[in-house]
Amino acid sequence: MLTKVYGSAVFGVEATTIIVEVNTDIGVGYHLVGLPDNAIKESNYRIAAALQNNGYKIPGKKITLNMAPADMRKEGSAYDVTLAMGILVSTGQIEEQYPLSDYIIMGELSLDGSLQPIRGALPIAINAKAEGFKGFILPIQNAKEAAIVEGLQVYGVASIREVVDFFNEGKEIMPTIVDMKAEFYEHLENPEFDFSDVKGQESIKRCMEIAAAGGHNIILIGPPGSGKTMLAKRLPSILPPLTLTEALETTKIHSVAGRTLEKGGIMTSRPFRSPHHTISDVALVGGGQYPQPGEISLAHNGVLFLDELPEFKRSVLEVMRQPLEDRDVTISRARFTVTYPASFMLVASMNPSPGGYFNDPNAPVTSSPAEMQRYLSKISGPLLDRIDIHIEVTPVPFEKLSDTRKGEQSIYIRERVTKARELQAKRFEALENIHYNAQMGVKQIRTFCKLDEASLALLKNAMERLNLSARAYDRILKVARTIADLEGQEQINGNHISEAIQYRSLDRDGWLG
* Bridge pairing between strands 62-68 and 14-25: antiparallel
Q: Is 74 helix (H, G, I), strand (E, B) or coil?
A: strand
Residue 362 confidence (pLDDT): 58
Q: Is 447 helix (H, G, I), strand (E, B) or coil?
A: helix
Measured CA angle at 240 (ends 296, 293), to 5 deg: 15
The predicted model gives 204-222 an average pLDDT of: 94
Residues 342 and 319: beta-carbon distance below 8 Å: no
Higher pLDDT, 180 or 42: 42
Q: What is the pLDDT of residues 316-347, one digit of tens each?
A: 998 998 899 889 998 887 677 889 999 999 99
Q: What is the pLDDT of residues 462-507, one digit of tens each?
A: 888 888 777 788 899 999 999 999 999 999 999 999 999 989 877 6
Within its chain, how far is the Cα of 440 from the centroid?
Answer: 22
Residue 159 is given by DSSP the state: B
The predicted model gives 97-125 an average pLDDT of: 94
Average confidence score pLDDT of the chain: 88
Q: pLDDT confidence of 510, banded at 50, 70, 90?
A: very low
Residues 318 and 383: beta-carbon distance below 8 Å: yes
CA–CA separation, 368 vs 452, rounded Å?
44
End-to-end CA separation in angstroms for the chain: 76
Burial 425-436 (b: 16+ CB within 10 A, else e): eebbeeeeebbb
Q: Is 176 helix (H, G, I), strand (E, B) or coil?
A: coil
Task: Report pTM.
Answer: 0.88
Domain limits of the chain?
2-168
Instruction: Name the nearest CA neighbour of 54 among 160, 138, 140, 158.
Output: 160
Give the number of C-alpha atoms closer than 13 A to the C-alpha of residue 236, restricted to the C-beta side: 25
Q: pLDDT confidence of 359, banded at 50, 70, 90?
A: low
CA–CA separation, 510 vs 254, rounded Å?
42
CB-based contacts of 111: which residues, under 8 Å, 6+ apart? 46, 49, 50, 53
CA–CA separation, 26 vs 315, rounded Å?
58
Residues 229 and 307: beta-carbon distance below 8 Å: yes
CA–CA separation, 479 vs 420, rounded Å?
12
Q: What is the pLDDT of residues 149-183, one digit of tens each?
A: 989 999 999 999 999 999 987 788 999 998 776 76
The predicted model gives 215-230 an average pLDDT of: 89
Higher pLDDT, 512 or 80: 80
Dihedral sign computed on CA atoms, order 96, 122, 13, 37? negative
CA–CA separation, 31 vs 406, rounded Å?
68
CATH of domain 2-168: 3.30.230.10
Is pLDDT above 80 for 353?
A: no
Q: Is 20 exposed, middle or buried (0-12, 13-18, 19+ CB in 10 A)?
A: buried
Q: pLDDT confidence of 508, banded at 50, 70, 90?
A: low
Is pLDDT above 50 for 513?
A: no
Q: What is the pLDDT of residues 452-462, one digit of tens each?
A: 999 999 999 98
Q: What is the pLDDT of residues 387-445, one digit of tens each?
A: 999 998 888 776 666 677 778 889 999 999 999 999 999 999 998 889 999 999 889 99
The predicted model gives 359-382 an average pLDDT of: 67
**Which whole-number Å values give the CA distances from 375 to 28, 307, 389, 509, in the listed order?**
67, 15, 20, 16
Residue 185 confidence (pLDDT): 64
Residue 201 confidence (pLDDT): 83
* % of the chain beyond a pLDDT of 90: 58
Residue 184 confidence (pLDDT): 66
Alpha helix segments (H runs only) across 240-380: 244-256, 281-285, 295-298, 314-318, 321-326, 369-376
Q: Is 141 helix (H, G, I), strand (E, B) or coil?
A: helix
Residue 222 confidence (pLDDT): 86
